Amino acid sequence: MIDKVFRQGFAAGVLGLGLISLSPAAELRAIHVSSGSDSAQVSLELTDRAAQSLFTLDHPDRVVIDLPHTHLSSGLRAAPSSGVVTGVRTGARPHGTLRVVVQLKTALPVRSSWAVAEEGRQLVLTLGEPPVAAVDAGPKAVRAQHAPGEGDRDVIVAVDAGHGGVDPGAIGHGGTREKVVTLAIARALADRIDSEPGMRAVLTRDRDEFLELRQRIARARAAHADMFVSVHADSIADRSVTGASVYVLSVHGASSEAARVLADRENAADLMGGVPLDDSPLGAVLIDATQSEIIGVSASAAERVVSALEGVGEMRRAQVQRAGFVVLKSPAIPSMLVETAYISNPAEERRLRSATQQARLADAIASGVRSYFLQNPPDGTRFKREHRTASIADTGTLSASH
């Protein structure tokens, strides 16, 4: 019976689909409800991030969250009803999916965001305008719960771990596969971004999964990403070559022969999954002014990442490189590809395997991206609001709050 209701309701409208898939099982430990008469905040405390899908149903009004590979903690008690929230139920779905249903007195707009909790992760649902108490979190709370209403959203960074599944990427002399290293660095990068107030990461893959290059772009678009960062660690014939490089899309040929060769090899990744190569000429989608502008934006963001990597002594060349990477062809999202190191160099291969080095690279990339957004905050974001407040404060018209 519940199934029928859900199926019926599902047709009513899917609000948003999470993109992060998760291999190990997560546990739902607690549900907190903070509710007023026309708004509420519901936080789900999880041991790890799950690829949530979220949708609303009516008659009665409710918000449904499906969490794949998630089980309930045995000690979890049902959250009491209060204000506009008349109850929260949980139930097991097929294939290890846990469903959480938030019942409402009346339909409310809902948005979700992930936050880093003291232990694990917190999925925060904001229904209507959030109650002030929930936003004004105490010192022990997770990072600022922010995002009340328009104009205060997070900057979203799509973090793309190169290769995966049947495509191992480059393989080091010690047997290290690029796909493993890129996933580790991508996860560290996502964590680093998520710990930054005003920024949120979305992983295009969070397990050993083959993704077509176009799917990577599609996932970033579905997440409304403001930036796309693809993480790689390729090989080169000359084993002595070391250091990171940062690439953006080129419309008119590659910045070097090596860059062209690399792009050709990366673009062949789809073949590994049996997908025919995309041989449409780059020009076909790139002629318009918007695309050139996107590449310009990508390049200035990439410059920040180059500086940050240079700051920790990781850069091979201190300029942004250019080549025709298919994965960077998103027509709307500024995109860059970071070659974090050459896995073909035995010393770098060893370093790439270490969590310390992975975190070091992730930190540098995250700080480069952050510094770009601080200077160029997208409209509607918290960064934009703070940027504006800071500018006003600079002119002396208004003193900065606290």
> Between 232 and 370, whose beta carbon lies closer to Zn ion?
232
Shortest distance, CB of residue 232 to Zn ion, whole angstroms? 4
Cα distance between residue 257 and residue 135, in whole Å: 52
Residue (42 or 161) nearer to Zn ion, CB: 161
Calpha distance 2→8 (Å, rounded) = 10
* DSSP, res 277: P
The smaller minimum CB distance to Zn ion, of residues 66 and 234, is found at: 234
Residue nearest Zn ion (C-beta atom): 232
DSSP string, 5-35: HHHHHHTT-EEEE-----SS-EEEEEEEEEE
**Residue 123 pairs with which residues in a beta bridge?**
44, 114
Do residues 322 and 250 lie in contact, with contact meaning Cβ atoms separated by under 8 Å? yes
Answer for the pair 243, 341: CB distance below 8 angstroms, yes or no. Answer: yes
Nearest Cα residue to 324 out of 384, 394, 250: 250
Nearest distance from C-beta of residue 127 to Zn ion, angstroms: 41
Give min distance, CB of 314 to Zn ion, in A: 17
Q: What angle do CA 161, 162, 163 make, to 5 degrees?
A: 120
* Residue 110 vs 188, nearer CB to Zn ion: 188
**Cβ nearer to Zn ion, comparing 155 with 343:** 343
Enter the DSSP assignment of 37.
S
Q: How many angstroms separate the CA atoms of 57 and 64, rounded?
A: 8
Q: Which is nearer to Zn ion, 45 or 234 (CB)?
A: 234
Question: Could you give the angle at which helices 355-375 and 178-194 cross, rounded to 10 degrees?
Answer: 50
Distance, in Å, from the CA atom of 21 to the CA atom of 297, rounded to the nearest integer, reads 29
Q: For the CB of residue 262, give the shortest distance to Zn ion in the complex, in Å.
A: 8
CA distance 127 to 40: 5
- Identity of the residue, 169 or 368, whose beta carbon is nearer to Zn ion in the bound complex: 169
Q: How far is the CB of 176 from Zn ion (least distance, A)?
A: 13
Q: Which two tokens stand for residue 267?
A: 């673009």
Residues listed for the chain: 402
Q: Closest approach of Cβ 298 to Zn ion, in Å? A: 18
Q: Provide the minimum distance between the beta carbon of 266 and Zn ion in the complex, in angstroms, as a whole number.
A: 5
CA nearest to 322, candidates 244, 254, 393: 254
Could you tell me the smallest distance in angstroms from the CB atom of residue 179 to Zn ion? Answer: 8
**What sign results for the dihedral spanned by CA atoms 381, 384, 388, 394?**
positive
Binding site for Zn ion (CB under 5 A): 162, 169, 232, 234
Which CB, 43 or 245, lies closer to Zn ion?
245
